[in-house]
Structure 1
């Protein structure tokens, strides 16, 4: 408020200047023009009337200084409108000053050439309309004899008509006029010498009045602007203050420009008015000219003073706005700095961890140093802001009371932050010192244990060997003075300020470990001293079998520790008859002690592996953090933006992938969990198994690695990377650190192998083996995914195909069957080279294409060719005796692909994996069928038969029997199937290669097809030679598996057999895969009558008829759930049998004969899925030939 009052006082002083000036001059009429409220009459307004010159103000003066107005001879005077006449009179009387006008005007009326009547009318009109005081009226009457005589007579007789407030004098000639007014005050037409030009006078009057009006408007504008500035409230933020300052500055510049133009115009008017005197200094100038000159000079002076006052006012106002802007900047900076200091203070307060190892403390110290370095900018900014505030105070800022406390607060915050950082650094320094002692002690203990474990037991049996080992131990113990913790209480007291519960426990454990190591050394020394002492004693010849001692294993440290009992040793020496028994006991103890020493050595090695795992894990986490903070975070730093090339903009996720996610997993979870296994390294496999799913994040990182490397090659010369590398003081560039995650995930399996090597007999060996297998599986998945992302040309989503199981390159021959004709490609001696990708739902055939380039760009790509839906795929394990070939056939052998693997092992792996997929699909389809059958059995009751009605339990028993029969892993399982009509046998394919294990052989002797769940009842096979071939018989699928209605039926149109010369051998059995698809009538619906049993029931439950394969039963009537009530004609027994185990034809058929699984080729297996297994009848994947 004080500031605003001061501004208004300055403003009042500004506008009081013109008014004070007005009182100091005798010519105040122009000043009145500036300040009067009524708009004055100006020459410009009546310029046309003034140009008529029926009256003018010549500038002459009477003897008493009265202004003289001259009315020259104007014949049309009487025709002048009253309004024009009145305006001209008013204007002329307003020109002289108030002082001169107050004396009165002298009117000179020239009517020498006019008539008396006109003289009379002119005088009367003037007298009636003159707006000012009159002092004297001088009339030059007509000069003609007649008119002069007439005017004398008329004036005498009409004197009363001319009675006015002032005298009217009739003059007969100009000399008489000179008697009343000096010639120098009269114009030339009245016989005077006064220089008067009416046009010049009119121009001067117009210019002066225009300038006066400009001065008035300028003054009013300045007054309004000054009022606005004085009443302006100061904004509360820097942008608004800056906007107000800019707006006011712009208005001030416009006002200054208006004043400059007014001054220039005034100077021009003054020069024009003063021109005659400037041209002739001795020339006499009338009073009006002098008045005009003084008026212009006065206006110019007023304008200059106004400008000076305005400049003074503006300087103060501008200073106030600038100080306000400085204050707002200071306040804004104060808010930002305090907020930043609060954040960094909270962060430094969070540095409470004192570390759990030497490396951890060093890492924390580096973190604290890095944090202090990053926070230094905020602290420096706070100190700089404090200095700015002090400068504002020195410059006498108007807001000193607001600035000074903020400066004090900034100093306190900076000092508090520095003190807190110092305290944290001191605590970590003490922790580093303590952990250094602990690490030294642990290293001494580990080295001591390793020394004890590495001393050869056999060399210690001699005196020299024992003495050498003893000296080696003594030399090592001499180093313990500097390495060991001397007194535990003293350590706990010295480092009490930093000890927490975990660290205290760690100190106690280290001390206990050190004490245990010392105890082990003491026992080993005692044993070695006794061994060295025993060697000096003579051997007693009374021992019954002294060779027993020499043949026993060399005593280990464990034996020596066990023989320290003096009573036992004395007993041996004193009692000879027991020496042999003692010797044998010592041998057993030696073996036991040797095993204990070996386990101790393995424990040392396990600890070494665990230490390496922990150390490398900590280093790995630190390197990831270094990359994320030193590179990734700097890409968002505005100060580094100018160093980043355009190719890197918005590419941080491409360059670094999900490295941040990997870092958080290892830093927050995995490293901490690993540290919990430091004391039991043999159990570390559990840690890997518990977090195995989290390791899937590496697959995403590796899949992004090609894009990352490509971007790095484009931008590796970017100054940004060079600057970051310089700040981090790294010797290697960023790409080396981007490779760290790939190297780390491959390092784990090496460490697990090493740990497993030393933990074979430990509790966690199984977990280590499982963890190793899981890590290898992840590596395989990562490797497979790298190939998967290189597939091009596939229109669908690869993620919809399920998990990628295997991938690899193979040689492929194809055979396509179209209608009744086969299109063979076996004539191509050179097979197609295809890269196969086995998914859970499909197998993809791709063509491998090598690429040229560097790094990941050199990796091959795969052009998609075709895909096979796994729901319509079957396999034949062996083809023509080649151990590396197998068949993948599709859509009921409509398409057959002979695949040759690089090695038999790869083939076995692929066949096994495909078998797993098909078996899982078979199980899923069977479960769906059983679920629907169960729902139908619950909704529809089973019809009762005379004398035998199957109960709900009977149906369940049959269901359980069906489940056992359809279980592909059951050795005595059956799958019901209805065979086709009898058909002449054909040559079958030779499947000569057997499986390597009994389990795989048992599984390979089954044939699975979801069309009919076909299987063959097993009988025990007799031994055969490797060249002897078993036969397989044709089995056709039942259109309704398990007799459940609602399944899609698959009809097979009869086909003419093709030429199979290139596909089968002469010894191929009639049940070849080709024979299944080449002929056969559609399955028929069962009707009551005699039917042949295709698959028998070895054991029967209540209500179930026990039958054997090949028996003939008589069907009585059909029940629910695919069951028929049947009677055995031979035994007369009755019961329920499943329709799927019966042939739809009467009598026996050789083609319907059931063979045991051992009758088929031991090495053959045909696994297939039919499209009929799904109720929706999904079509297979569309084949795309390339």
Structure 2
């Protein structure tokens, strides 16, 4: 309905149509009662009728009574002729209250939803204090929202109360209509209250679950924190016990490790109690249906597993250390047993071996010792290794093997002693005497000084050491400034006193047998000496109990100090000594014995080359407590340096014994092989001697091994002359010659200056400063020089440089000239063969291309000639022998005529083949540096 005013009514219709929630089907228009208003209404509807008709039907009513035709009077207010009791202001108040309540309920729902989303999406922290703080903040917000819900519920209930009709007598007649009026609003409010109650119930349920989860999350983090702390502590203890895994060291260190393990075990007991408490707490959480049940059970299992590992590792470590302690105890007892055995051997004086009673007493002492040491000597190595296999580290294995080897050798020595003593007890045997050199030759050969009265059957190595110390002391008192240089001098004649010690046996067989006996007996002593040094010094450097006595820098110098002595001992003990012993009844086999193993003797060259480095180490650490303790245990009167000299002494003594044996084996079976063995040992000594000199060369640029094999070396006086400019005159030699040490190699001659160092032992090993090098492919010699038959010339580069060399004697000179001549002849043969090959290649090329034009042939031929003229030495020929009596007496040499012409012309060449390191204070001119331009052939 609307007021019948077309302009305003039209706008109302449009607003109602837009705001009404449903569809409009009919519009009832009540006309005004006044004439003017009615007239205007009719005119207005007439003009706007089409607009109304397009959208909805409009009915014009003339009076209020016409409304009853369309609407029930119960639905109309009294103003419109109805009976409906209606207050519009009251309706507006209720309507606003209902709409506000509905809006409040909606906002509350949004707040609850936002709070729930925040709880679900917010990432929880990883530390317990932050979790507790978040839990408190969320609980506070929950209580605030709970209060808001309570207030909204109270407001809704008040609205419902206001919408209810009072139960009075005046209202009884109109209750039904009143109820009908408020039914819609009441249902709306009731529905909103129901939604509020549902939201509150859901919110309470959500909060209970969330709170429980947060509390469990906090409990989980506390449990995890306790778990991580325990794991860290357990791993720390495991690492501590792992540090005790190294079973190396001495017995004191093992004791200290056992004590540390006991302390660690005590600390682990408190930790294991905490672990059991945490595991019990985890089981309680799991029993309360914690949401992280699987994780808690896993953590409990891990903690239980780590606890078991800690207990088992400590238990296993205790067993391991106990076994290690037992192993070290056994090794210590075995070493003490070895020391007692060595002391027993050392205390047996050699004089006691000469009587039957003393031999029986010594034999009884040995048997008592063997009975006492039987548990160690007869201990099965396999059983020992099986029992201690778990704890056997490489160091312990080495110690065990060392002690085992020491026991085996001591047992073998005692068995040998027993056999000798039994022979003495059965029958007193005359001692076999050594054949020793005279004191003069003793100085040169550095052999041990034994007299014929000192050595008998069954003597031990320790007694030999005592005898050697006496002889060494006498020898040191009589000699000074002695060189440790490998020499090969011949042994002189024996003294009459020594020959008388052979019991007047003048036959060659008896003499030969005595020399052979001396060779075998001294070989046994030599092997025992090496064994004692290796066992008493070298092996002790690996003994942890001796580390405190040893300077730290000395521990890694074992290979330098002893060189390859272990290799030498192994060769003599395992191979060579048994071969010599097989020659006892067959002296003719001595020569083949040396020849078959001549290559093995090269190990002595390596030992001698290392000797200077070894002595440097010894001089630096000779006063340390380690060497003194080892010497005390071995009962040695001499220091280690005397025993380190044994291999050098032994290799020089072989040639002396072989020479004596050859002297008494002339025209006998095997004498030729014996002579060959002697030559082999002399060559070996020369090779060793040469190598000792070569390693003393300093300042050479390059590798000396590239110069080939060293043929000879020695000291000479040298003068140098030059051709200068276009003249042929030589520089007159200086009055004072230069002292040079020459080294002759297959490919060069090296000039060095011997350096004289001051101080103790300075002359033991020479030092050479490199000066220059002459390539053999440019060298020629003149055998005889006027004025002195000890001189000869070495000229270089077609006599551009002439070196006048004066030897100590004529024999040395002739040896050098002979060797240089042989080298030049070999080079000439190689040049001739090379030239012949080149000519054959050119001939084959000419045969393959016979139809080439003449111009090309001539060009090729000229090219060959140019090549020959540029490298004359590569195609040298013997054209003519020139003997110049006036200039150089008795000089035999041949030159190419073309080379002579070239040598007369002054030329400048690059330095490709020459090194020079002249000292400024020697006033020596640098030689011209020329390439190979000529070759001399000597006959």
User: What TM-score, normalized by structure 1, do the two folds share?
Assistant: 0.39
